[in-house]
Chains A and B, each alone.
Chain A
């Protein structure tokens, strides 16, 4: 027997009511807010190649209290400190970058259907589309967009084979802004991917693919969320109104297909940024 959706929703409302988002263009991932241990769950490195003996780090064994570690053993004339540890770190990073590039499915980003234009500003992505006189823009940030894996927490102690490592999926909160030519203010929707949809995957999750968390009128194009504008919270909303809001977004191209494609795009962008970060880190550590 399936668990009742009605009961599940009651629980979801209780959980979601404890978090509020204040940033507009850079909404924080709920997962990060809710779980204090999320930083420790997400490993720094993503692949399990380090477990093999072929990894560069296996040839280097740091000795504790060794005075050698404090002296620079390599010099490049930059005036910076260079240790054996730095060298091992650099080697480790170059192997990691190689592995991550192998995992990268494609160099090109997945396309969003529906004529959306993508614009990037660091880790923030903006999708824009014009629908007969209206401008629809969707903003999300790939930072903090990967939810912690709850399943791993539950199954602690059980050894899982490496191949079963769950795929990393980026599920950022996203902000939809709808602007009409004549109107002074934009209608802004703060949207989320519900956590249980992503983290369980046991075939019985019963949340919508994405949900609207808050709705508000905001001055057009402002990056900060104006707290003095009335904000409609959907936790305690008349469900008929909620459905109309969802249909309104669907008519403007923000539907389940869009949300699914956004997840794919954000995952690819996040991975791209991760590799870029590793390359920058390698460059910084190596000091070429």
Chain B
């Protein structure tokens, strides 16, 4: 089925084709093309609601991941038995939150969305950043993904975790 893209908000003019292309490039780099993935673009209000329900944090944020496989070892791809299980889960992108940050730092919105999606996909693949070790492991993976992405596209994207180590 591939990437299911949903745009549930009207604050940010998201370019769907661009976002899909970027997500497809990330999937190609990670070798996860056979897995389904949900990308849902939401505004501050909605991501705050979800953040509050699932993480008890009543603030908007940039990304929330909901893995289909909750207990896989980082970097090990799941081995599903059925077609239904060829699914990594859903990533909610707080596009309004990301846009506001981009405006502050004069960054390209879609570049930032790619970085944030890469972070979200790492979570779906079992990476965490609750301990120092986990953080280093995840940063390494994100750096690899984005350096490959930069090679393919000529962009200069940097991992999200270089800037902040807070959990998402």
Contact = CB atoms under 8 A, between A and B. Distances in A.
B32 to A, nearest CB: 13
A243 B38 contact: no
Interface residues of B, number: 30
Contact of A244 (B7, B17, B49): B17
A243 B90 contact: no
Contact of A4 (B7, B24, B50, B89): B89
Contact of B17 (A9, A240, A255): A240
Nearest to B68: A4
Q: Which of A203, A209, A240, A243 has the largest number of chain B CB atoms within 10 A?
A: A243
A124 interface: no
Nearest to B66: A2
Nearest to A248: B17
A170 B126 CA distance: 43
A247 B17 contact: yes
B20 interface: yes
B81 interface: no
Q: Which of A5, A9, A207 has the largest number of chain B CB atoms within 10 A?
A: A5
Contacts of B49: 203
The interface residues of chain B, by DSSP majority, are classed as mixed
A240 B20 contact: yes
Contacts of A7: 84, 87
Given A9-B4, A243-B16, A256 B9 contact: yes
Contacts of B162: none
A82 B116 CA distance: 72
A246 B37 CA distance: 20
B3 interface: yes
Interface string B64-95: 00101000000000000000100101100000
A182 interface: no
A5 B90 contact: yes
Given A5-B38, A243-B20, A255-B13, A207 B89 contact: no
Interface string A244-261: 101100100001110010
Given A203-B49, A244-B17, A4 B5 contact: no
25 contacts: A2-B50, A4-B68, A5-B40, A5-B90, A6-B4, A6-B38, A7-B87, A203-B49, A206-B6, A206-B8, A206-B38, A207-B8, A208-B6, A209-B10, A239-B5, A240-B20, A240-B24, A243-B5, A243-B17, A244-B17, A246-B16, A247-B15, A247-B16, A255-B10, A256-B7
Interface of A: 1-2, 4-7, 9-10, 203, 206-209, 239-240, 243-244, 246-247, 250, 255-257, 260
